[in-house]
Structure 1
């Protein structure tokens, strides 16, 4: 896909990977539309991005807002070429200590937010016979670790939804990509790990956000079905899938450092 003049909606674009992707996509000639809840952050980020990116406040847990936003984008641009579903957060706590409400809230943002965006944009993409839905999942969706049961469940749901959706849309001209990154040095950990112990314990494994954003942009250009980051983690995932009990024993000490 050539990105020049492509309309690309990006949720969770007020900071971190979403904001960096918006900059890199704009540099490629795309028309990024930044979406997030905070108007102040969106305004500040958009002012720092090359070109003239558009931005709108959006809460992905509000179905009415999502549907209205998609209609507004179609009215403004005529079509939507790519939706980058990046909005999400984590909270590292033991299952016994997390409330049911906390589980529900995370699922509502991380998983149902993607479902809402997809449901709203899909009729328009089907009508045009083209489009690209890019869902940011996580390595956590493939390998569960202690203190991440809630987060892992949301990302596992994202992967399952994306894989099934890809099969449904295979003959329609619409592509579906999942991005599965490991830990990234972004504001994500301000909520997920406010004490900083996880970052401290995994210093050598945390990726730079610019590196991940580059890989995400390339995935959009090449319309890849799945990207696992870092690449070495892909081998670990295959080992886990083949020998889950053995992999659990071998990786317990490394992965459970939250």
Structure 2
């Protein structure tokens, strides 16, 4: 990837889940760097507000498309529209996703199925279509937003963790496949972020308060994500305390299971 792409000036950045939370802030950070921002999500009214602010920050056109990433036909249609109306995508940020804290024995399996359609299959459909175009010009950067839950599972996160384990595994293989084509693949694994994600995920409404010091600020995470563009960084893990915990988890699985049950069950 060229050094100019790292500056993001006049590069087309396509973001899923861009109407609120982390995706919204990533869009603003990209716009501040001079990118042409394309935001997608299901709520077109919210997207339009994000689009307007991105255009103001970048002083150039920004674009918004309604997109439900659980619908492959809709993905195909929107990606084709972007190519025709905006141009080739230089940076793809797969941010769309949701979680729901529930034990495996009681979770509604329709919720589990939808979570896989959004968090995993939707990401794969979007990535394949964009990567095909990137491969033609042998240039691009794909950033997949996974989670620390995909490296270290805890109670009541069985389905969500499974989707994020899948995203990490997919990204790791994709990175190797696309490297010869000069396409970079980076995985971002954040811990809890202070966003509306927990409005759905946490029925109790107390999770963020319980994990207090580990909660990340949206602006800080978005800044780190945009800072990755054009670099060869394989993976970004946040916060540092959870990065250390996940490494301990892999090295000492039995002890980690005990700690996950006794100390880290905050849901």
- 2:37 corresponds in structure 1 to 32
Task: Tell me the distance in 1 between the aligned counterparts of 2:111 and 2:84.
Answer: 36
Give the TM-score taking structure 2 as reference length. Answer: 0.93
- 1:153 corresponds in structure 2 to 162
Task: Tell me the distance in 1 between the aligned counterparts of 2:131 and 2:111.
Answer: 29
State which of 22, 34, 51 in structure 2 corresponds to 1:17: 22
1:80 aligns with 2:85: no
Task: Tell me the distance in 2 between the aligned counterparts of 1:178 and 1:151.
Answer: 16
1:219 aligns with 2:228: yes
Give the TM-score taking structure 1 as reference length. Answer: 0.96
Over the aligned positions, Cα root-mean-square deviation in angstroms equals 1.2
Structure 2, unmatched stretches of 5+, are: 1-5
Task: Tell me the distance in 2 between the aligned counterparts of 1:37 and 1:233.
Answer: 31
Task: Tell me the distance in 1 between the aligned counterparts of 2:109 and 2:31.
Answer: 40
State which of 44, 48, 64 in structure 1 corresponds to 2:49: 44
Structure 1, unmatched stretches of 5+, are: none
State which of 195, 199, 213 in structure 2 corresponds to 1:190: 199
Aligned residues: 258
| Partner SS for 1:239 | helix
Task: Tell me the distance in 2 between the aligned counterparts of 1:166 and 1:48.
Answer: 33
The Cα offsets for residues 219-243 of structure 1, whole Å up to 9 and x where unpaired, read as 1242421000012322221111111
Structure 1 residue 29 displacement after superposition: 0.5
From the superposition, tell whether residues 127 and 221 of structure 1 become closer, same or farther in structure 2 (CA, over 3 Å): closer
| Partner SS for 2:229 | helix
1:125 aligns with 2:125: no
